[in-house]
Structure 1
């Protein structure tokens, strides 16, 4: 039994080291990412009323490409929905936001580990929609913002990676209008996600 336990531990160490050697760099490699998580959106106003927004779910995916050992470029598209309430707690409809995000990562290569922390920043195109309690859609202008992010990748093997990320999005308020009334939509938010990356090569 002791010999079996020793052999098993040795095999796991060898597997871990071999996986690490393949996991530390994505230079010249293309991958796809799928994400799911939460969003804490900013508050908005409509028809001179403050709209308190609830946290919502967010999901999406994109592609990532390793330029060098430490630099990577990525494009992701996410979709989220969240409800809005008036100050007295009554329903004020719901928002939808599609975020087309383009940016880069700086990846911190960690020897002898499967973990690769990273930091990123980039540009966001935020396409919003606001549905009033009456069921009618409001027109919401498209916003351009920026993001800063931090996360970590964990390499199960050369192709399959678990990823977790926290992102802050900052964008100026844009106009929205419906049924002869108007307001301001603030697309800024804090987003936390987990997901999976798969590299083809």
Structure 2
């Protein structure tokens, strides 16, 4: 275990220490982000049955704009899909969430300018759908939630950065209406993504 930690630390130090200072600030710069990852969704219920949610795939992208050296505005649109099961393992259909996320980042300018950690928060418009195992498409209400996030950008070129981010979303439960019953869907969850940012200027 100690060897693994040592090797991981060594790789991180080499990655951080390599190259010249390129991207300590994105002030006045517009960028586009593409990202993929996973979602750990909350559990929901349907007709008094608890629906245990599987981890799901998440993908999407958006735009980021540097307002000042430390503040940036971001808009992202992502899509996630995941299956659900009863406690006994029986399939209970698939949910999908389209998240229109509006947020602000505080970007920390550290001595190594190629590496920029950040923390952020914002609002999320969550448009959800649910396909029952019998093929029925249920109506799921749209809702608004909030998120907090933390991440890091690593600039290996002036206009190109690798991104990693963890985001937690909290939102109220919404109603599910289907031909075979009704229930409550919880669109809250935690996501982890990796991606690339490209800055136009």
Using structure 2 for the length normalisation, give the TM-score. 0.90
Q: CA deviation at 1:154?
A: 0.0
Aligned to 2:76: 76
2:118 pairs with 1:118 = yes
Aligned to 1:158: 158
Question: What is the correspondence of 1:139-158 to structure 2 with a 5 Å cutoff?
Answer: 139-158=139-158
> 3-state DSSP class of the match of 2:172?
coil
Aligned to 1:182: 182
Aligned to 2:19: 16
Question: What is the correspondence of 1:48-63 to structure 2 with a 5 Å cutoff?
Answer: 48-63=48-63
2:167 pairs with 1:167 = yes
> 3-state DSSP class of the match of 1:69?
coil
Structure 1 CA distance, aligned partners of 2:161 and 2:112?
A: 16
Structure 2 CA distance, aligned partners of 1:173 and 1:180?
A: 20
Structure 1 CA distance, aligned partners of 2:93 and 2:128?
A: 13
Question: How many residue pairs were aligned?
Answer: 185
* The structure with more radius of gyration: 1
Q: CA deviation at 1:180?
A: 4.8
Aligned to 2:7: none
> 3-state DSSP class of the match of 1:87?
coil
Using structure 1 for the length normalisation, give the TM-score. 0.90
- RMSD of aligned Cα (Å): 1.2
Where has structure 1 moved over 3 Å in runs of 4 or more?
none
Structure 2 unaligned segments of length 5 or more: list them: 1-17
Q: CA deviation at 1:113?
A: 3.7
Structure 1 unaligned segments of length 5 or more: list them: 1-14
Structure 1 CA distance, aligned partners of 2:135 and 2:23?
A: 49
Which digits, 9 at most, give the CA deviation of each residue in 1:23-77, with x for residues without a partner? 1000000000000000000000001110000001100000000000000000000
Which digits, 9 at most, give the CA deviation of each residue in 1:151-188, with x for residues without a partner? 00000111000000000000000101101511000000
> 3-state DSSP class of the match of 2:19?
helix
Q: CA deviation at 1:112?
A: 3.2
> 3-state DSSP class of the match of 1:164?
strand
Structure 1 CA distance, aligned partners of 2:178 and 2:112?
A: 57
Aligned to 2:42: 42
Q: CA deviation at 1:145?
A: 0.1
